[in-house]
C-alpha cells in the first residue's frame, strides 16, 4: 500500500534518509582525500628515483607503506571502539599530513621509509575504509549497509580521479617536493569532515548477527570461520593487484613508449570508472549474493590482464584497459565489508574488516615490492602480470565456499 502524506511510515522513512545521506557523503568525501593521496604515490617513484635512489628501493618504501596502511586499520578500529571514530579521524589527519610534509625534507631511503612508509601510511589508515564503513554501519540498518559501503567506496575512487592528475600536474610544473606538500595540505583538510563522517558515538544498529563480546573474542571467533579465512585470502590477491598497478603502472607506461603524462590520466580513468563500479556493486549487494559478485570481479581481472598482454600498447588500449580495470578496482570493498557484516554483525565491523584490510595490504606489500624487483632483474613486468592473473583466478575460486544466505528481496 502506498504511504500517505504525513503518515508515520513516511515520516520515519524521511528521517532515516536525512540521517543516512549526510554521514555517508561526508565519509565518502573524507575517503576521497585519503585514498586519492595514497593511490597517487606511484607517480612519485620516477621523480624520487632521479635523486639517486633506485626504483627497487622506492618500491620497497611504498610496499612498507602498503603494509602499514593495512596494519594500522584493525588497531585504529579497536581504538575507535574506546575513544570514538571522530577522534581517530582527527588523529589520522594530523599524522597523514605530518608524514607527507616531512618526506621532501628527508629524501634518503631511511627518511622516506619513516615518512612515507610508516607515518603517512598509518595516518591514511586511520581515515580509511574500516573506520568510515564501521562508523557508518553503526548508524544505519543492515539492509542499507552494502549500498552505503558502495557510495563511500566511490568517494575513494573520485579522490583518485581528482588527485592523481593534480599530483601529476604539480610534479611536472613544480617538482615532486611541492606536489608532496600539496598532498600534505589535502590530508590535513580531512579533519574538517571528521565530525560529519563519524557522527555521534552510539551503539551499532541492531542486526541478526551477534553483537556482544570484546574485539579480541570477535577476532578469535572470526579466524575459526572458514568463510572469513576465504575472504581474507581473496582480499590478499586484490591487494597484490591494486598495489602493483598504482605503484608500477606509471613505469609500465614509460616502458611501452607512451608519454609519462598519460599515467595520471590512466589513474584518473581508473578512479572515474570505479565510481560507477563501486556504487553499482554496492546496489547489487542487496539483491545478489555478495560472494558471487566478488567471484565475478576477480574473474574479470583475469580476462582484462590477458587482453592487455595480448593487445598492442597504444594510448587507446591503455585508456580502455584503465577504464575497464576501474569497474572492478575497489568495487571489491562493498561486498567484502558486507560479507563481514553479514557473518559477524556491526559491533566489531571496524576491527574485523580492518583485519581483512590487513590481509589486503600484505598482498599489497608483495605487489608493490615484487614489481620493482622484477623490473630490476628482468627489465619488464611480464612475470608480475602473469602472477597477478593467477592470483585473481585463485581468488575467484575462493569465493565459492563462503557461507552466505540469499538476500531478501
Per-residue confidence (pLDDT) for residue 338, from 0 to 100: 84
* pLDDT tens-place string over residues 309-352: 999 989 999 999 999 998 898 889 888 988 888 888 767 777 78
Q: Which residues of 264-287 are buried (b: 16+ CB within 10 A; e: fewer)?
A: bbbbbbbbbbbbebbbbbbebbbe
* pLDDT score of 20: 64
pLDDT on residue 295: 95
pLDDT at 407: 60
Give the CA angle between residues 159, 198, 39 to the nearest 5°: 20
Cβ proximity of 336 and 402 under 8 Å: no
pLDDT at residue 200, as a whole number: 57
Burial 38-70 (b: 16+ CB within 10 A, else e): bbbbbbbbbbbbeeebebbbbbbbbbbbbbbbb
Tell me how far apart the 2 most distant CA atoms of the chain are, in Å.
Answer: 71
pLDDT of residue 13: 44
pLDDT of residue 231: 93
What is residue 237's predicted lDDT score, i.e. its pLDDT?
A: 94
With beta carbons less than 8 A apart as the criterion, state whether 100 and 181 touch.
Answer: yes
Whole-number pLDDT of residue 308: 93
Low-confidence ranges of the chain (pLDDT < 50): 1-5, 8-18, 202-212
The predicted structure's pLDDT at residue 272: 83
pLDDT for 12: 46
Q: What pLDDT was estimated at residue 3?
A: 47
pTM over 0.85: no
**Tens digit of each residue's pLDDT (9 = 90 or more) over 284-294:** 877 888 899 99
CA torsion through residues 117, 120, 121, 122, sign: positive
Q: In percent, how much of the chain has pLDDT > 70?
A: 87
pLDDT at 389: 95
Beta carbons of 36 and 163 less than 8 angstroms apart? yes
Q: Cβ(114)–Cβ(181) under 8 Å?
A: no
What is the set of domains in the chain, with CATH numbers? 21-190+215-398 (1.20.1250.20)
- The pLDDT score that the predictor gives to residue 408 is 57
Amino acid at each position: 500500500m502506498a504511504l500517505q502524506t504525513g503518515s508515520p511510515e513516511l515520516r520515519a522513512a524521511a528521517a532515516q534518509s536525512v540521517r543516512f545521506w549526510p554521514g555517508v557523503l561526508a565519509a565518502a568525501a573524507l575517503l576521497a582525500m585519503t585514498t586519492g593521496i595514497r593511490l597517487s604515490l606511484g607517480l612519485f617513484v620516477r621523480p624520487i628515483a632521479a635523486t639517486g635512489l633506485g626504483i627497487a628501493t622506492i618500491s620497497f618504501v611504498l610496499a612498507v607503506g602498503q603494509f602499514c596502511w593495512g596494519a594500522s586499520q584493525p588497531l585504529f578500529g579497536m581504538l575507535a571502539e574506546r575513544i570514538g571514530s571522530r577522534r581517530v579521524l582527527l588523529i589520522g589527519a594530523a599524522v597523514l599530513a605530518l608524514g607527507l610534509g616531512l618526506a621532501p625534507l628527508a629524501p634518503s631511503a631511511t627518511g622516506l621509509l619513516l615518512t612515507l612508509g610508516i607515518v603517512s601510511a598509518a595516518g591514511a589508515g586511520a581515515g580509511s575504509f574500516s573506520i568510515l564503513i564501521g562508523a557508518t554501519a553503526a548508524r544505519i540498518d543492515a539492509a542499507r549497509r552494502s549500498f552505503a559501503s558502495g557510495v563511500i567506496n566511490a568517494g575513494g575512487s573520485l579522490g583518485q580521479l581528482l588527485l592523481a592528475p593534480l599530483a601529476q600536474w604539480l610534479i611536472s610544473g613544480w617538482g615532486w617536493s611541492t606536489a608532496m606538500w600539496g598532498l600534505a595540505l589535502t590530508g590535513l583538510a580531512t579533519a574538517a569532515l571528521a565530525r560529519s563522517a563519524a557522527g555521534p558515538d552510539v551503539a551499532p544498529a541492531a542486526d541478526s548477527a551477534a553483537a556482544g563480546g570484546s574485539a579480541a573474542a570477535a577476532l578469535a571467533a572470526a579466524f575459526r570461520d572458514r568463510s572469513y579465512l576465504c575472504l581474507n585470502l581473496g582480499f590478499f590477491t586484490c591487494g597484490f593487484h591494486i598495489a602493483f598497478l598504482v605503484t608500477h603502472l606509471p613505469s609500465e607506461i614509460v616502458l611501452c613508449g607512451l608519454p609519462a603524462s598519460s599515467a595520471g590520466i590512466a589513474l584518473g580513468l581508473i578512479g572515474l570508472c570505479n565510481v560507477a563500479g563501486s556504487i553499482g556493486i554496492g546496489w547489487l549487494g542487496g539483491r545478489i549474493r555478495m560472494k558471487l559478485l566478488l567471484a565475478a570481479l576477480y574473474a574479470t581481472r583475469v580476462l582484462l590482464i590477458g587482453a592487455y598482454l595480448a593487445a598492442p600498447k597504444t594510448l587507446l588500449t591503455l585508456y580502455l584497459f584503465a577504464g575497464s580495470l576501474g569497474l572492478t578496482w575497489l568495487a571489491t570493498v562493498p561486498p567484502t565489508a558486507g560479507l563481514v557484516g553479514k557473518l559477524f554483525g556491526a559491533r566489531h565491523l571496524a576491527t574485523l574488516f580492518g583485519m581483512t584490510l590487513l590481509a589486503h595490504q600484505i598482498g599489497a606489500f608483495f605487489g608493490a615490492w615484487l614489481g620493482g624487483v622484477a623490473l630490476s632483474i628482468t627489465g619488464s613486468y611480464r612475470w608480475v602480470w602473469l602472477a597477478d592473473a593467477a592470483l585473481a583466478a585463485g581468488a575467484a575460486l575462493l569465493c565459492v565456499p563462503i557461507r552466505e544466505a540469499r538476500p531478501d528481496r
